Amino acid sequence: MLENYSKYINELFDKPDSVLMIDADGYVEYSATYDHALACLSKDNYIGKHILDVYPSLTKETSTHFRVMRTNRPIINEKQNLIDMYGNHYSFVNSSFPITSESGTPIGSIEFSILISKNHIPHKKSSDVKDSGSLNSRKKLYTVDDIITENPTMQAIKKDILKLSSSSSCAMIWGETGTGKELIAESLHIASRNKGSFVSVNCSALPASLFESLLFGTKKGSFTGAEDKKGLLEMADGGTLFLDELNSMDISLQPKLLKVIEQQKFRPIGSEKEVEVNVRFIAAMNMNPEDAVSTGLLRQDLYYRLDVIDIHIPPLRERPEDILPIIDHYIHYYSQQMDKNIEGLTSLAKNALVNNDWPGNIRELRNSIEYAVNMTTGKYITLQELPARILPRKSTLEELNLPSVMPDLGQSAFSLQNHLNDYEKTIILNTLQKSENITAAAKKLGLTRQALQYKMQKHHIIWEKKIILP
C-alpha cells in the first residue's frame, strides 16, 4: 500500500506541481495541478481519460505509471519530456508509486510531478512567492488590497475582512471553482491577530488513506516506513489552517476534525501523547454548504462549528464590472513575467472577453490571458491570440456587437491591419457557423473554396463536422 512509501510521499507533498492517479487499465481516476497563484491543488479535466490519450507521446513501455504497475516497485525522481493532448510540451521530474490490493496485486498507480518547463519556458515558482512563515516561505500571502474589484458585493466583503481584524473565529467561504476563495482566506489570516503560518490543504487532492497522517502527523514506527513528521495542525499552530474543498473530505474523517476544532488538541498517529494547538480554521467549498449538508457530503455539526463567519463569493458572470480590471492586472503581470511590452487588447478581443460567460471564473480568465500573452508578438492582444474556447460562445456578429466597438483609428495606437484581421476572422467564423460546409460558406463570402481554406489556415480556424475551433 501507499503507506510503504510514506517517507517519499511526505517529502513530495510539500512541493509537487501535479498529482495523477490511474487505475489498472490506464484510465485517470484523479488528476490535479498545483495552482501557485491560489496555492492549492486544483482538479483538471483529465479525469476519465486514458493516460495514453492525455499524453500521446507516451506508450505502455515508456509510461512510468504502467512501469510501476508491471514491477510493483516505485520510480523516484525520473525526468520525462512529454507532450499532452493539447500539444503542450512539458518537462517533469516524476515520482510514481504502485497502488496495490490487500493481496499485493497492483490495481493502479499515483504519480507526483515537479514541473521543470512548459513549452520550453522554465517553470519558476519563486516569482509567485515570498516569505510568509515556516510552511509558506515559498508563497506570498494575499491581503485585502490584492482583491481587484469594482463590484459592490466584493467591496462589502473587503470591508468585512477589515472589520474581522481582531477575530480568530472559524469561517466558511463558499463559491464556484475559480472565484478566489483562498485569496479571501489569506486576506482574513493576514488581517487577523493570528500571526502564525497560513497552512493550506486541498481536501479533494489527497486520498483518504493519507489525509489523516498528513493532518495529525506521524511518529516513527507507527506503521511501515513512518517517520517523525509534524502534521498540518502542528504546522499551523498559532496561525490558520485552510481546508479547501471541505465537501470533498471523507465523511469518516470529519468527526475527528470537529473534535480538534472543539478541543484544540489531537494525537499524532502512533503517539501516546496529545498535542495542544491554537489554530484558526477557515474552510472553503465550491457549493452551498447547506446543500453539502443535505446531500450528505458535510456533517451538520461540523458545518455549524465552522460557519461562524459566512462569506459567499459571487461568480464572475455576476460581476462583469470586474472583468476588465482583472484583465488589465494579468496582462501587466504576465507581460512582466515574459519580458513583453503588451499594452492592452484590440476592441474586438476586449468585447469577446467581456461577453464571455467564464464558467471557470477568475482562474479561467487568468489562464486565458496567460495564453494570449504567450501568443502575442505585438503590443495588443487580438482575437487571433485568444484561446479557442473563448469565441465559440460569442461568435456571431450580433453577439460581438460590432457597430458599438468600431475603433477610432485616428486615436488608435495599434495598427489598422490588426483590426482588419479581427473583423475578417469574425466574419468567416460567423459565416461558417451558418453554413452547411466550407463550399457553401465560400459561396456566401464570394470566395473560392481554396481561398477560404487559405484564410481559415491563416486565422487558425479548424472545421470539423460543423465544430468550428477558432
Looking at residue 180, what DSSP letter applies? -
DSSP E strand boundaries for 160-264: 171-174, 198-202, 217-218, 229-230, 240-244
* % of the chain surpassing 70 pLDDT: 80
Read off the pLDDT band of 150 (50, 70, 90). very high
Read off the pLDDT band of 257 (50, 70, 90). very high
Average pLDDT over residues 187-193: 86
Cβ neighbours, 10 Å, residue 90: 21
pLDDT of 388-402, one tens digit each? 777 644 444 444 444
Element (H, E) at 41: strand 40-43
95 three-class SS: strand
pLDDT of 19-45, one tens digit each? 889 999 999 888 877 655 444 445 566
**Three cell numbers at 13?**
507533498
The β-bridge partners of 427 are none
Read off the pLDDT band of 378 (50, 70, 90). confident
The β-bridge partners of 95 are 112
pLDDT of 45-96, one tens digit each? 678 889 998 888 889 888 999 999 999 888 888 888 888 877 778 888 888 8
CB 425 within 8 A of CB 459: yes
**Three cell numbers at 372?**
494570449
**Three cell numbers at 69?**
504497475
Residue type at 80 in one-letter notation: Q
CB within 8 A of 135, min separation 6: which ones? Answer: 197, 198, 199, 235, 236
Q: How many CA atoms lie within 13 A of 383 on its CB side?
A: 29
Backbone angles phi, psi at 251, to 5 degrees: -60, -25
Give the burial string for 222-248 (b: 16+ CB within 10 Å, else e). Answer: beebbeebbbbbbbbbebbbbbbbbbb
**Three cell numbers at 371?**
495564453
Q: What is the dihedral of CA 200, 201, 202, 206, to 10 degrees?
A: 160
CB 72 within 8 A of CB 98: yes
CA-to-CA distance for 127 and 334, rounded, in angstroms? 11
CA-to-CA distance for 86 and 202, rounded, in angstroms? 26
* % of the chain surpassing 90 pLDDT: 34
Looking at residue 32, what DSSP letter applies? E
Average pLDDT over residues 283-308: 95
Average pLDDT, the chain: 80
361's torsion region: left (phi>0), alpha (psi -120 to 50) or beta? left
Cβ neighbours, 10 Å, residue 257: 25
Kindly tell me if the per-residue pLDDT of 6 is higher than 50.
no
Q: Quick one: pLDDT at residue 230? A: 83
CA-to-CA distance for 335 and 343, rounded, in angstroms? 9
17 three-class SS: coil
Among the ranges given (2-11, 40-49, 158-167), the one the predictor scored with the smallest mean pLDDT: 2-11
pLDDT of 201-256, one tens digit each? 888 776 777 777 888 888 775 555 556 788 889 999 999 999 999 998 889 889 98
Kindly tell me if the per-residue pLDDT of 264 is higher than 80.
yes
CB 18 within 8 A of CB 31: yes
**Three cell numbers at 437?**
460546409
DSSP H helices in 355-415: 361-375, 397-400
CA-to-CA distance for 319 and 156, rounded, in angstroms? 13
DSSP for 417-457, please give it.
HHHHHHHHHHHHHHHHHTSSSHHHHHHHHT--HHHHHHHHH
CA-to-CA distance for 22 and 66, rounded, in angstroms? 9
Distance of CA 470 to the CA centre of its chain: 24
CA-to-CA distance for 267 and 260, rounded, in angstroms? 10
CA-to-CA distance for 366 and 383, rounded, in angstroms? 16
Average pLDDT over residues 366-388: 89
Looking at residue 460, what DSSP letter applies? T
Q: What is the pTM of this model?
A: 0.59
Cα angle 145, 147, 148; round to 5: 110
Among the ranges given (184-193, 214-223, 317-326), the one the predictor scored with the smallest mean pLDDT: 214-223
The β-bridge partners of 436 are none
